[in-house]
Structure 1
Amino acid sequence: MKVYTTQPFQAVYSLFEHEYLGYLFESFVVQVNSKGNLTFQHQNISVKNGKEFASRLDADDFKLLPLIDQIQQDAVLKKFSPKKQSPADFFLKVYDPEKGDKALQETISHYIQGRMAKILELLRNKQTFIMGKDGEPTWRKIKIAPEKASVLFHFRRNEDNTHYYPTIKYAGQKMEFMYRDAALVCYEPAWLMLDGTIYSFEKPIDGKKLQPFLNKRFIAIPRSVEETYYRKFVAPLVEQFDVLATGFSIRSERYTPTPHLTFSEVKTTEKAVQPADVKAGALVSDKILFDLSFKYGDYIVPTSEAKRVSVSMEKTEDSYVFHRLIRDLNHEKGYIKELSKRALEVKNGQTILEKPAAFAWLNHNLAELEQLGFTVRQEEKSGKNYFIGEVSVNVGITENNDWFDIYGTVRFGEFEIPFIKLKQHILSRNNEFELPNGQIAIIPEEWFTQYIELFAFSDGEDTLTLKKHHMALVNDLENGNLATVTMNRKLEKLREFETIEDHPLPSGFRGELRPYQKAGYNWLHFVKDYKFGGCLADDMGLGKTVQTLAMLQHRKENGAEAASLLVMPTSLIYNWLKEAEKFTPDLRVLNYTGTYRDKNIELFQEYDLVLTSYGIVRLDAELLKSYYFDYIILDESQAIKNPDSNTSRSVRELKSRHRLILTGTPVENSTMDLWSQMTFINPGLLGSKNFFRKEFLKPIEKQKDEHKTRRLHALIKPFILRRHKSQVARELPEKIEHTMYCKMTEEQEHAYEETKSYYRNKILTSLEENGAGNTQFMLLQGLTKLRQIANHPLMTDPGFEGESGKLKEVMRMTKNVVGKGHKVLIFSQFVKHLELIRRVLDEKEITYAYLDGNTKDRQKQVELFQTDESIKVFLISLKAGGVGLNLTAADYVFILDPWWNPAVEAQAVDRAHRIGQQNTVFTYKFITKDSVEEKILALQSRKIQLVTDLISTDETIIKSLTKEDIDNLLS
């Protein structure tokens, strides 16, 4: 029957007994007549229709509705039945007396009881009834007792057995509940219904402890099982409830607690994070478990026991004594707070720390804890015997000729250990050091960070020495109060670069050096005088060649006893010959290249400078390493970036008094490039290759570890001189950069979308199935295809008959620039793209110079463009024209297909924007709208942070792309 909200109504709650689920409540609204009495007109209410009756429901009603909905038969069926079935089928199967699912019964009961307890608490001021057998919700009124009852458990021990029974009091009066049709409407905790009233209890009690006595006066425990029963049942009861005992004793005891902190080693299994191609496994990790307990008299009470009373049973000659220990929880909390103040957060009496952190904490706090009254000890059965005393280290460093001597001692309590004994432990990150008495001392974790480089870079097994070029490390150790350093006055100059002396230019040098070039020349003297290798890493176009030639001329005039060797890419030989002829005409220069070179190193004595290529060094390695050069200089030294290549190995085997490398991009692909080049100029500076990979390469490239990046900078900084063009901008003409957006033609857009859809589905599916690591090649392939179509679909489809929006825009701009008498460099990463431009230039009869990787006479093309006024356009592939070109005749630079690495584009621009340029240089970057090129530009600003200082590589960025980045690129 429907209840009308326009007329008075009342919410009521009706108790009924379910065949399987026990006592439950149902919620109703009942119409009220004109006299204010409840009528028979009623309907169920639930969360679904509760808002209709909101006018006469309060906050508690709206809390009750979802709880009551959750205990109804259909809700239980939906929650616990894995498949659709009728209530009868489900309940008959689960509650079958012989084959029923006991575990599921327990789970359902716990679920129901928890909600019934909450419902009963909320019903205290509600209209509550027992439901009639016909479903009438208001059959008989019941009430919830406003106060809580108390329970007293009685034990009477006699010669034969022990009688056990409870008594209940309410409002000071004993309640007679046995044999009175009382019922437990809830068990967790107990709610007892007696004579129309439902009672709860002051101390929550399990209903199963009362259930037997609804129809029984007492339970008799035979003497044969008495001890077990007392220990397992009576002792916990004495802890939680009031107990009246006859025939045995219960004694309450109080003491002041003293804290006991014990520690033990535990093995924890953690999920291993491994590469996608390796199955995830489990790592077993050593950790330390701290356990806090309190001693009360002779009793030890674990903090994990939250109960205020702790009971232990003592068996006497003819009876039992229950010692009821009253804990001082406030006092205990005070000790827990003291641990918390010292950053040890104890929960349930325990906490687990990584082993190094645990012993660092112990070493730091042990003395204070003992003063506060803590007893700190190792668990007796915890395996290794650990040392937990005071730990300290004292390191000294003294300069000795061309190296530093390192000495020091480590103290573990009473033991004094030579510092060098820790070397293998630090390098292998083994933090367990065995003391002479067999105890295991844990090396503090910070020592691995503080001293790993010292051990990795030092030589010696019995004594430790460092090379002079590790001056930055020595300084850091001293500044961090990690070592006491003694050195002479000459070496003190290294602490401040402002002390670099000014050196006059050699008399045979023809020309002038700009101020920053003169500073570079002085710096070359500085590293030479201290017998360090140097890296001159100025930006392209700032004159690394002329600074180097000035130094070589100085060596000639100051009695260099041998020739210097200058190694470079073959394409730069001509440039060096021309520059040497111009600035240092007195230098005797040998061009040691070509198939018919004279392989006679005695010839070198007749020359000041030997020019050769990396290929020749590789071929003539055995011959060249037999000569002791004055200088070995590597130009474009990134050529030895792969330390395992034959070129790198050959170059490292050469012998010389001084070493110098020249490069505008010290790092192209990876920080390992830096290791290879730094190891050439200063062997051992960055440790072994494996050490460098573990300590620098992986943290910097994979984890983006800023601290490691700064650390690497600090180590190499004294040996690298790098000036950016912005620092000397006042000596160069202005550079203006533009971005030109080109709209795709309709046919081009169709080709682009078709390819994009194909690769998008393929790449995103591969990402899900194989992970990022196995999708990189496909991603690169897809991005390359899309970039080519963004240039011109002809690059991927020779049969394409449409036009390209970008090509039209490039040709419009080219005609405009050439028409006004300017010269332009047009760079593309794709030779196919240059071929398309050539075809159009030929059609329009515009003359041009051309350079790609297959061009035989590079210098001829350069001179043609530089000197022939009729040639206004120079088509250059980025790879072939990125280094070694002076193209100052151009004042426009077009970048046709931008890619990740801005350093590569900057090198292209630097072909024109360099010393000797008199005009403003205009750079135009052509971007196809609504293509992957535009997406790359948007991502660059975020991703380029990875590569600004040490790493400038497209591969690095490709590896760092997230699924979201890839999704955006291909959207």
Structure 2
Amino acid sequence: MKVSPEKPFQIIYSLFSHEFLGLLFESFVVQLDEKGRLSFAHQNISHVNAPEFSSGLDETDFKLIKWMDDMQQEAIVKKFDTKKLKPKEYLRKIYDPKTENKVVQELIEHKLESLRAKVLENLKGKRFFEMGNDGNPIWREINIMPEKAAVLFHFRRNEDNTHYFPTIKYRDAPLEWQYRNAYLICHEPAWLVVDYNLYSFKKGVDGKKLQPFLNKKFIVIPRKVEDQYYKKFVTQLVASFDVYAKGFDIKVERSLPRPVLSLSDLPSSPKTDLFGNKLEEEEEDKIVFDLQFQYGDYAFRSEEKASNNVELEQIGDNYIFHKVIRDLDKEKSYGDYLKDLGLPVKHARYSICKSKAFGWINAYKDNLEEMGIRIQQAPTQKGKRYFIGHANISVEVKENIDWFDVHAVIRFGSFEIPFNKIRRLLLQGKTEFELPNGEIAVIPNSWFVNYSEMFAFMEEHEHDSSQQSLVLKKHHIALAQELQTGNLLKLKLSQKLEKLRNFNQIEDYDLPLTFKGVLRPYQKAGYNWMRFLNEFRFGGCLADDMGLGKTVQTLALLAHEKEQHPETTSLLVMPTSLIYNWELEARKFTPKLKILTYTGSQRIKDISRFAKYDLVLTSYGITRMDVDLLKGFYFNYVILDESQAIKNPGSIIAKAVNELTCRQRLILTGTPVENGTMDLWSQMNFINRGLLGNQNMFKKQFLLPIEKKNDQDKAAKLHAMIKPFILRRLKSQVATDLPEKVINVKYSTMTPEQEKAYEEVKGYYREKIVKEMSIPGMKNQQFALLRGLTQLRQLANHPRLTDKDYTGDSGKMEDVTHMIESTVSEGHKVLVFSQFVRHLAIVKEYLEKENIKYAYLDGTTKDRQAQVQSFQQNDEVKIFLISLKAGGVGLNLTKAEYVFLLDPWWNPAVEAQAIDRAHRIGQENKVIIYKFISRNTVEEKIMALQERKMALAGELISTEESFMKSLSKEDVEALLD
């Protein structure tokens, strides 16, 4: 009969018996009469039509309906019937004794029990009925009892047997349930219907333990099977439920758990390949921590989660059940506490490396004792006993005249251990040693982490013939200060040396009177820093960004050295291409310095001459060749420019410069690290020998942890150690100290092949033009002169501009590519201008070979704006190649920080216009300009002529033609000389 959802109705749940599947539930809606009573009008409700009646259903009803749908025969059969039989036919086949399938029966029952348990747990507050034989769903109502009943299991042991039976109490009153047509709807857990009341039970009683007693008073256990029955069944029952016994004893232990942290050895095994060869070094042995809880005489591991544990003891004819009631919440709190301390032993045993294990114990022993957690060592086969007391290290570092004295006291409990013994063990990576009482002490891992570098850098020093002590070189001050900051040692420093901790506290030094220049504020700070290092005989690395004036800061220092030590000579080593630039800068800022340029195949190999000069300039190549000669002279300073040249410590040049003898060392570089951490070691070892230990030690202590394991702590410690000796200012950091634009001239030296090609063309035009200049009609020679000068300028850039078959190098191109590498590695954007498209093509070829992204613009470029946007907006595009004619107008390139002018132009106004492509309104960066000039070429002479003519005429030279007209015969001869 249809029920109208528009009229009053109620959902009810009904229990019926299926001939194969046992007790099942079904859901119905029943129409209510005018008095609100259930009528005979009802209909089945499923998840399909339930939404029609949603006005009378809640969320639980929808769940119950779905679960009841899932237990109907159609749904059950669908999951198991692969042959698509009719549900009744399939079930008959499965349950018929002749064709039955016990496995499928068990699977079906397991599924139904799970659904029954879910349904019954959610029926509270619902109306529940037994279904009549005629299918009436509201035949007899069952009351769902609001509280859980308790079961008490009884055992009465007598001479012949043991009687076993359960009793039930509801609200502390006995419940009559046997011989009353009671039945179980569900077994796991038990749900029992007695007198149309539905009971559930505390402690999740299994219905199978009640089923035998529905129509039986007790079960008899004969004496002959008593022992086995007590061990298997009664023990389990005593552990899980309330048991009343007569004829044997049940002793209950109720107490707070006492936590015990047990530790034992877990030897490591080496990893081997199929042939037994070792693949890796053996790992350090491990310690296993096992959290246990003591209740009286009984102990339980933390991962054993049974709330009650029972052990059976038999004394003669008597049985005693020892029941321990555990406080799992309290146990959990101890597990959580240890996890918070970094030892997650909550669910299982936990193993860690031995030194870490004892480091953890040493760090938290007081905390553990305060919490009442006892540490004990599990017995070992060899009888090995570990020291589990307090270990302490106390280190004091005092400043001496030329070094730091190191004093350390090390204690393991009451034993004081010699410092040198622990230091040797730490350096060897060993963790264990025997104490005088026979216990094995394990060095805490924190000592390895905190002190291994310091111990490695210490040296033995003899104060007198009878006493040896350990000292630390003064350039390890940063390491000592870092340990002091972490309260790992006491450090006593003079007030002056303390200033090295903070660069800003270094005092201001006067500039030498012979220095003819003005230092910007950051340059003056750099000069102060170098003077400070000089006082303490520390080496330094000036690593300012390209264009910030490393040269002028160094020259100011060298001018000071001339005033203080006029009898000494310093050596400056650099790439060959930089020597001329240094000569020019020294002439400009330190004219009083007597300079010897020690280069070329014609150099005089007499080092006694050096004493007559303040500064010797030489190249890395010459140093490599003449090292046996040069190391015989004691220099004041040895300074390396572009010191990344010695980044590979195994290279001949790195070995050569380290053989040079001097009072002080300094290096200059814009890129102290190009490839990896070893670059740093090589350069730091040059300026402060031993600062980072030897190569092997450095690899072990820093390189491998940093590069292979990304160890941030090691990286921080390395940074702290070298920080006082590296001064690096980025262009962005000193922007306020920079003028709007800084113009530098970069002089390049032609390669021998390039110079030969240049001289041939120069000779041809000199003979042709100068000879004919005396003939009237000189104006007719202007075209030939322009053509000749243009060709020479192209050769000064790169001979490939005039000869596509040329296979040699170009000095200028080497310098340009080197500086492009430097700026790109520092993350800067660069505009590269040339008036020769073929010159840009050579640069482009290099960029593509090196996979450096660039933008490009010449007169043939169609997508000008796209190229501009690419440079302006794409952070990966660092280089913009631009030809003079294409880049003259309409560009706004405000992202550029550097401008490279690859060749000088006749017209300085055009050059200025190119610079202004970067330096214009909207520019957020200070712009540094480099003009590349090849030495001893027409480029250098054009620049000198431009300056002279502009000064004389007081006007700009606007075109090539006007420039030509202004040239005298002497000018032309000078250009072609």
Please, what TM-score do these two structures have when normalized by structure 1?
0.68
Shift of 1:712: 3.8
1:454, distance to aligned residue in structure 2 (A): 0.7
Spell out, residue by residue over 1:656-704, the C-alpha distance to the aligned partner (whole angstroms, 9 max, x if none).
2211112234344545443332222112223344555565567767888
Question: What runs of 5+ residues in structure 1 fail to find an aligned partner?
Answer: 273-278, 737-780, 796-800, 814-826, 847-857, 876-889, 896-901, 913-971
Q: Residue by residue, what CA displacement relative to the aligned partner does 1:726-765 show, whole Å, maximum 9, x if unpaired?
A: 67656543369xxxxxxxxxxxxxxxxxxxxxxxxxxxxx
Aligned amino acid, residue 633 of structure 1: I
Q: How far off is 1:209 after superposition?
A: 1.9
Q: 1:609 to 1:90 in 2, by over 3 A?
A: farther
1:450 aligned partner: 450
User: Is 2:262 the counterpart of 1:263?
Assistant: yes
Equivalent position of 2:908 in the other structure = 869
Q: Please state whether the residue corresponding to 1:7 is helix, strand or coil.
A: coil
Are 1:483 and 2:482 matched, yes or no? no
Q: 1:29 to 1:449 in 2, by over 3 A?
A: same
Pick closer, same or farther for the CA change 1:448–1:163 going to 2, 3 Å: same
2:559 touches 2:593 (CA, 8 Å); kept in 1?
Answer: yes
Q: Give the residue type in structure 2 aligned to 1:230.
A: Y
With over 3 angstroms needed to count, the CA separation of the structure-2 counterparts of 1:346 and 1:555, relative to structure 1, is closer
Deviation at 1:335, TM superposition (A): 7.9
- The residue type paired with residue 456 of structure 2 is A
Counterpart of 2:883? 837
Q: 1:120 matched to which residue of 2? A: 120
Cα distance in 1, alignment partners of residues 118 and 415 from structure 2? 63
Distance 1:216 1:637, change over 3 A: same
Cα distance in structure 2, aligned partners of 1:521 and 1:327: 73
Q: Which moved more, 1:422-431 or 1:341-350?
A: 341-350
- Spell out the pairing of 1:795-874 with structure 2 (5 A cutoff): 803-806=862-865, 834=881, 837=883, 864-865=904-905, 869=908, 872=911
Aligned to 1:944: none
Letter matched to residue 243 of structure 2: V
C-alpha contact (below 8 Å) 1:265/1:382 kept by paired residues: no
AA at the equivalent of 2:908: E
Q: CA deviation at 1:525?
A: 2.8
Which residue type is aligned with residue 803 of structure 1?
K
Cα distance in 2, alignment partners of residues 263 and 707 from structure 1: 31
Question: Do the aligned partners of 1:309 and 1:324 also contact (CA within 8 Å) in 2?
Answer: yes
Cα contact 2:685–2:691 (8 A) shared by 1: yes
* Residue equivalent to 1:740: none
Alpha-carbon offset, residue 838 of structure 1: 6.3
Q: Deviations over 1:831-878 (max 9, x none)?
A: xx74x7368579x9x9xxxxxxxxxxx99x66x35x852652799xxx
The 2-side partners of 1:573 and 1:286 are apart by 60
Q: Given the superposition, is the C-alpha separation of residues 482 and 302 from structure 1 closer, same or farther in structure 2, using an over 3 Å criterion?
A: closer
- Quote the Cα distance in structure 2 between the aligned partners of 1:910 and 1:21: 92
Kindly provide the CA deviation profile for residues 417-465 of structure 1, in whole angstroms up to 9, marking residues without a partner as x. Answer: 2233333554576655554445343433433332132123334599643
State the shift of 1:368 in Å. 6.9
State the distance in 2 between where 1:499 and 1:656 align: 28
Is residue 12–residue 27 contact of structure 2 (8 Å, CA) maintained in 1? yes
- Give the secondary structure class of the aligned counterpart of 2:393: strand
Read off the aligned partner of 2:658 and give its amino acid letter. R
Q: Structure 2: which amino acid aligns with 1:418? A: P
Q: 2:640 is matched with which residue: 628, 634, 641?
A: 634
Equivalent in 915, 918, 929 of residue 893 of structure 1: 918
Structure 1 residue 42 displacement after superposition: 0.7
Match status 1:386 vs 2:375: no
String of CA shifts for 1:138-186, please: whole Å, max 9, x gaps: 46544434554443333333444434333445574553535x6654321
3-state secondary structure, aligned to 1:227: helix
- Superposed CA deviations along residues 238-281 of structure 1, whole A, max 9, x for unmatched, are 233343434x22344566557241312476999x9xxxxxx99x
Deviations along 1:786-832, whole A, 9 cap, x unmatched?
9999846999xxxxx9822337869999xxxxxxxxxxxxx9966xx
Given candidates 522, 530, 543, the residue that maps to 1:524 is 530
2:595 is the alignment partner of 1:536: no
Identify if the C-alpha distance between structure 1 residues 201 and 499 changes in structure 2 by more than 3 Å, giving closer, same or farther: closer
Q: Which amino acid aligns with 1:185?
A: I
Mapped partners of 1:416, 1:806: distance in 2: 77
Q: Is 287-296 or 168-177 further displaced after alignment?
A: 168-177
Q: Supply the distance in 1 between the matched residues of 2:871 and 2:58 (Cα, whole angstroms).
A: 77
Amino acid at match of 1:43: N
Number of paired residues?
795
What is the distance in 2 between the residues matched to 1:692 and 1:376? 38
- Closer, same or farther in 2 for the Cα pair 1:700/1:107, shift >3 Å? farther
Structure 1's 449 and 109: CA in aligned 2 closer, same or farther, altered over 3 A? farther
Deviates more, 1:359-368 or 1:673-682: 359-368
CA distance in 2, matches of 1:365, 1:538: 46
Q: Aligned pair 1:909/2:910, yes or no?
A: no
State the shift of 1:205 in Å.
Answer: 0.9
CA pair 353-95 structure 1, distance change in 2 beyond 3 A: farther
The equivalent residue for 1:555 is: 561
* 1:406 lines up with 2:425 in the alignment: no
Moved more, 545-554 or 65-74: 65-74
Distance 2:41 2:375 in 1: 72
Q: Please show how residues 483-522 of structure 1 align to structure 2 within 5 Å.
A: 483-486=489-492, 505-506=511-512, 508-514=514-520, 516-522=522-528
Cα deviation for residue 315 of structure 1 reads 1.4
Paired letter, 1:292: Q
Residue in 2 aligned with 1:44? 45
1:211-230 → structure 2 map (5 Å cutoff): 211-214=211-214, 218-230=218-230
Q: Which moved more, 1:153-162 or 1:126-135?
A: 126-135
Q: 1:373 to 1:694 in 2, by over 3 A?
A: closer
Tell me the residue number matched to 1:241: 241
Counterparts of 1:457 and 1:253, CA distance in 2: 63
Amino acid aligned to 2:315: T
The residue that corresponds to 1:314 in the other structure is 313
| Whole-Å separation in 2 of the counterparts to 1:786 and 1:575 | 27
- Look up the equivalent residue of 1:211 and give its one-letter code: Q
Distance in 2, matches of 1:458 and 1:195, equals: 90
- For residues 311-390 of structure 1, what are the structure 2 equivalents within 5 Å? 311-324=310-323, 347=346, 359-360=358-359, 362-363=361-362, 366=365, 375-380=374-379, 385-390=385-390
2:647–2:683 Cα contact (<8 Å) kept: yes
Please say which of residues 679-688 and 379-388 is displaced more in the overlay: 379-388
Q: Deviations over 1:167-222 (max 9, x none)?
A: 445574553535x6654321211112355443322442112222344465544434
Does structure 1 conserve the Cα–Cα contact (< 8 Å) formed by 2:13 and 2:127? yes
1:76 deviates by 6.2
CA deviation after TM superposition for structure 1 residue 633, in Å: 0.8
Cα distance in structure 1, aligned partners of 2:650 and 2:575: 19
In the alignment, which residue of structure 1 is the partner of 2:583? 577
2:404 maps to amino acid: F
SS of residue paired to 2:201? coil
SS of the aligned residue for 1:392 comes to: strand
1:677 matches 2:683: yes
Q: Give the gaps of 5 or more residues in structure 2.
A: 272-278, 462-467, 743-844, 892-899, 932-977
Give the Å deviation of 1:21. Answer: 5.8
> Does the C-alpha gap of structure 1 residues 64 and 643 become closer, same or farther in structure 2, counting only changes over 3 Å?
farther
Relative to structure 1, the CA distance from residue 103 to residue 263 in structure 2 (aligned partners, 3 Å threshold; closer, same or farther) is farther
Q: 1:583 to 1:160 in 2, by over 3 A?
A: same
2:200 maps to amino acid: S
Does the aligned pair in 2 maintain the 1:561–1:630 contact within 8 Å? no
CA deviations on 1:87-127 (whole Å, 9 max, x unpaired) are 97998999999999989977775554344223213324423
TM-score under structure 2 normalisation? 0.68
Deviation at 1:351, TM superposition (A): 7.5
Q: What amino acid is aligned across from residue 199 of structure 1 in structure 2? A: Y
Contact kept? 1:791, 1:806, Cα under 8 Å: no
* Structure 2 counterpart of 1:411, one-letter code: R
Give the whole-Å Cα distance in 1 for the aligned partners of 2:535 and 2:343: 54
- Aligned pair 1:716/2:733, yes or no? no
Matches within 5 A, 1:615-694: 615-689=621-695, 692=698
Residues 498-522 of structure 1: CA distance to partner in whole angstroms, max 9, x if unpaired? 7756655555544454555444334
**Would the alpha carbon gap of residues 420 and 108 (structure 1) be closer, same or farther in structure 2, given more than 3 Å must change?**
farther
CA spacing shift, 1:165–1:716, aligned 2, 3 Å: same
CA distance in 1, matches of 2:871, 2:487: 65
